Structure 1
Amino acid sequence: MIETITRIPVAHNSNLKTRAGYSIKIDDTEIALFKVTSGEVFALENRSPHPKGGVLSEGLVSGNYVYCPVYDWKISLADGKVQAPDEGQVKTFKVEMKENIIFIVL
């Protein structure tokens, strides 16, 4: 079976400010994009995993982490894992960049 890979262009790298979150929507999925100080771009589901949610694109970015704006949970941008003592995980999406265009890979 051949797996189909879809690359969806979502932003131009120069339009993303460092350490800020951006919300995009692909079909019914809301995704948060984050560009860190190294220039790397990460993509996560735009909802914190706690019951009341929290829009992650509105969170504070520090290093390779975003802090949930509702409960201040520290979430890894690399793997979506909530850091101890809290628990949970957010879905991550693969990001590729070609000619300064950022793509989400599905």
Structure 2
Amino acid sequence: MTIFVDIGSLDDVPAQGARVVRTAQGCVAVFRTADDRVFALEDRCSHKGGPLSEGIVHGTFVTCPLHNWVFDMNTGQAQGADEGRVRTFAAKVQEGRILIEATLLRRSAA
């Protein structure tokens, strides 16, 4: 069972935009689509390390601001790239609040 943690209001993230959440496992980009769905992805493009949180959101895709790689926010897979993938994390909206999986907030074991 996935445990979720409230990270803020849906209104804290602009439609077709993103916010960064700093976690014990690194930065996570939390995206909001035009129809108020949320997605959480590693905030580092697998191509050149660009900040995906600064990319362009279109539908359920985000385009990296550095080299225009397009990532499917459902799967993390880069479109048209054989090896391009970013890590995805469970996220949802409940009563106007954004929830992400709690494992992101725990410290990694040494």
Q: CA RMSD in A?
A: 1.5
State the TM-score, normalized to the length of structure 1.
0.87
Unpaired segments of 5 or more residues in structure 2?
104-110
Show the counterpart of 1:62: 58
Greater RCO, CA 8 A, separation 6+: 2
**Does 1:88 find its partner at 2:60?**
no
Name the amino acid aligned to 2:64. Answer: C
**Residue correspondence of structure 1 range 32-71 to structure 2 within 5 A:** 32-50=29-47, 52-71=48-67
Whether the aligned pair in 2 keeps the contact of 1:58 and 1:69 (CA below 8 Å) is yes
Once the two structures are superposed, residues 37-77 of structure 1 have per-residue CA deviations (whole angstroms, 9 ceiling, x without a partner) of 11100100000001x31000000111111001111001001
Show the counterpart of 1:22: 19
Structure 1's consecutive aligned runs of 4 or more residues displaced over 3 angstroms after TM superposition are none
1:100 aligns with one of 93, 96, 99: 96
Partners of 1:26 and 1:6 in 2: how far apart?
15
Whether the aligned pair in 2 keeps the contact of 1:24 and 1:33 (CA below 8 Å) is yes
SS at match of 2:30: strand
Aligned length, in residue pairs: 102
Partners of 1:91 and 1:23 in 2: how far apart?
15
**Does 1:6 find its partner at 2:8?**
no
Name the amino acid aligned to 2:39. Answer: F
State the TM-score, normalized to the length of structure 2.
0.84
Partners of 1:13 and 1:45 in 2: how far apart?
19
